[in-house]
Amino acid sequence: MADKKPKFTFQQCPGKKFATLEDKDNKELLTKWSMCGNLLAQMYTFDQPFQVYQKDEFMLDFMRDPAVMSSLLVASKDGNPRLLNMPAESVKVEVVPCSILSMAFFDRLYGSVVRDTGYLHKCFDEFVEDFTISDELRKMLLSEESDHVDLYSDSEKNEFLFRLFRHVCLGGQICQYEDKIDPYLNFTKSLYKDLVSVQKNAETKDLNITSSVFKIQAMDKDGEVFYPSSKRHEQTFSYLIVDPLKRHVIVLYHQFGGGVFS
């Protein structure tokens, strides 16, 4: 590892709580979805100004920072998060678009994959990798054979809000799926509000998202990915949501498999 003085330094906010993940009813949903103990959120502060073009340096400094390494949590098989405590040799950073301000974004699901009553349209069971498809929502999310695969464009599917929704709908290793869409939408909305910062324009009164979102992987000296996990899975992820105005960064992490009831 190069002996280079970091540009960015970090401090954990140990008292920071995320209302969505602390809510009793939501904890029951996470357990039902096989995500309890595997979906984690932590906040850190930094003192230096940040702009998106500095993302690679920022993320590498983050994944090497002693305060981060001594506090950053990952899931374990016993359901009790453990410390990562392994600095990165290099990082891979993906910019994730984050521009959606309204849950009306999901209105087009109704009448296609969701009934007007909120119940999901069922379908014959199919199996895609680790997932069982038994309704048109998951079929849309997982199968190119879905009649509704084009309901959202590729750019819309890349949006952070859509990604969160997809992660929640697919769940963990032994997920018990919902019959209605409301729990998925409500949880997604609440978590999105917890993670993303919004500011009102003083002149136009319009709301603008001030956070930048990045998906991150960390590699060891051999170039092997070890964070968020050495085991690749679309439901194993780590997003860093950076607020350059408040100078804080939130880590949203999930590991597929392991943890409670899996």
Q: Kind and range of the H or E element at 254? A: strand 248-254
Residues 6+ apart with CB under 8 A from 43: 12, 13, 16, 248, 249, 250, 251
Q: Based on the domain organization, do 167 and 222 belong to the same domain?
A: no
Report whether pLDDT(26) > 60. Answer: yes
In terms of Cα–Cα distance, which of 191, 188, 169, 167 is closest to 254? 167
Q: Based on the domain organization, do 75 and 151 belong to the same domain?
A: no
Q: Based on the domain organization, do 109 and 191 belong to the same domain?
A: yes
Categorize the per-residue pLDDT at 261 as very low, low, confident or very high, splitting at 50, 70 and 90: very low
Q: Based on the domain organization, do 154 and 181 belong to the same domain?
A: yes
Asked whether residue 3 is domain-assigned, the answer is: no
Q: Based on the domain organization, do 146 and 113 belong to the same domain?
A: yes
Q: Based on the domain organization, do 161 and 214 belong to the same domain?
A: no
Q: Based on the domain organization, do 108 and 93 belong to the same domain?
A: no
**DSSP-derived secondary structure for 82-146:** EE-----SEEEEEEE------GGGGGGGBTTTB-TTSBBPEEEEEEETTEEEEEHHHHHHH-TT-
Q: How far is CA 209 from CA 103, 114, 206, in A?
A: 14, 29, 10
Asked whether residue 29 is domain-assigned, the answer is: yes
Report whether pLDDT(225) > 50. Answer: yes
How many whole angstroms separate alpha carbon 138 and alpha carbon 94? 25
Residues 6+ apart with CB under 8 A from 153: none
Assess whether the previous peptide bond of 228 is cis (omega < 30° from 0).
Answer: yes
Asked whether residue 172 is domain-assigned, the answer is: yes
Residues 6+ apart with CB under 8 A from 23: 190
**What pLDDT shows up at residue 130?**
86
Categorize the per-residue pLDDT at 1 as very low, low, confident or very high, splitting at 50, 70 and 90: very low
Q: Based on the domain organization, do 40 and 80 belong to the same domain?
A: yes
Range of the domain at 220: 10-98+209-254
**Number of domains composing the chain:** 2
**What pLDDT shows up at residue 258?**
53
pTM: predicted TM-score of the whole model, two decimal places:
0.94
Asked whether residue 259 is domain-assigned, the answer is: no
Helix/strand/coil for 202:
coil
Asked whether residue 66 is domain-assigned, the answer is: yes
Asked whether residue 237 is domain-assigned, the answer is: yes
**What pLDDT shows up at residue 205?**
80
Categorize the per-residue pLDDT at 167 as very low, low, confident or very high, splitting at 50, 70 and 90: very high
Which residue, 195, 219, 241, sits at the end of a domain?
195
Residues 6+ apart with CB under 8 A from 160: 96, 97, 98, 100, 192, 196, 213, 239
Q: Based on the domain organization, do 188 and 233 belong to the same domain?
A: no
- Number of Cβ atoms within 10 Å of the Cβ of 136: 22
How many whole angstroms separate alpha carbon 244 and alpha carbon 212? 8
pLDDT digits (tens, 9 = 90+) for 29-41: 999 999 999 999 9
Which residue, 150, 171, 195, sits at the end of a domain?
195
Q: Average pLDDT, stretch 220-248?
A: 96
- Greater confidence (6 vs 105) lies with 105
pLDDT digits (tens, 9 = 90+) for 126-156: 888 889 899 999 999 999 999 999 999 999 9
Cβ(105)–Cβ(235) below 8 Å = no
Asked whether residue 4 is domain-assigned, the answer is: no
Q: Based on the domain organization, do 189 and 109 belong to the same domain?
A: yes
**What pLDDT shows up at residue 95?**
98
Which residue, 195, 220, 245, sits at the end of a domain?
195
pLDDT digits (tens, 9 = 90+) for 54-84: 999 999 999 999 999 999 999 988 778 999 9
Cβ(255)–Cβ(36) below 8 Å = no
Categorize the per-residue pLDDT at 259 as very low, low, confident or very high, splitting at 50, 70 and 90: very low
Q: What six digits make up the tokens of 211?
A: 């956070």
Categorize the per-residue pLDDT at 260 as very low, low, confident or very high, splitting at 50, 70 and 90: very low
Lowest mean pLDDT among 23-37, 146-160, 193-207: 193-207
Q: Based on the domain organization, do 110 and 51 belong to the same domain?
A: no
* Mean pLDDT score of the chain: 93
Residues 6+ apart with CB under 8 A from 214: 55, 59, 93, 94, 95, 96, 239, 240, 241, 242
Q: Based on the domain organization, do 74 and 114 belong to the same domain?
A: no
Asked whether residue 242 is domain-assigned, the answer is: yes
